[in-house]
Amino acid sequence: MVRRISLSGRLIYGAVVLFLLAGCTSTNAGRKISEFSASTKSVSEGVARAFRCVDETGTALATDKAVLVISQNGKVDPKRAMQPFLDESDYKSRIAALQALSDYAVLLNSIMGEKPVSSLDSEIDRFASSLYSLSSDLSVMTNGTSYVPGNEVGVLASCFNEIAKVVIDNKRANNCKIIISSSDPYIQKICNLLKQDIGTDRYSRGLRSQLYVSYDKLMTDRYTVISKALCCDKSILAPRDKRTEIGLWLSLVNEQKAADEAMVQLYKSLEALQKAHGQLVHAFDSSSPEFDQSMAMLKVESDRLMDRFNKLKRAQ
**198-220 pLDDT tens trace:** 888 888 888 888 888 888 888 88
Question: Among 79, 194, 191, which Cα is nearest to 141's?
Answer: 194
Q: In this predicted model, what pLDDT tens digit does every residue of 221-265 receive, in sequence order?
A: 778 777 776 776 555 556 567 777 778 788 888 888 888 888 888
223: closest CA among 199, 240, 248?
248
Residue 161 scores a pLDDT above 70: yes
CA dist., res. 119 & res. 80, Å (int) = 49
Share of the chain above pLDDT 70, in %: 69
Q: CB neighbours of 67 closer than 8 A, spacing ≥ 6?
A: none
Convert the pLDDT of each residue in 97-124 to its tens digit.
Answer: 888 888 888 888 888 776 666 677 788 7
The arithmetic mean of pLDDT across residues 260-278, rounded, is 89
Q: Which of 44, 31, 86 is nearest to 187 (CA)?
A: 44
- The CA-atom distances, in angstroms, between 75 and each of 65, 70, 80 are 12, 6, 11
Cβ-based neighbours of 22, under 8 Å, separated by 6 or more: none
Is residue 109 within 8 A of residue 29, CB to CB? The reply is no
Flag whether pLDDT at 191 surpasses 60: yes
pTM score: 0.74
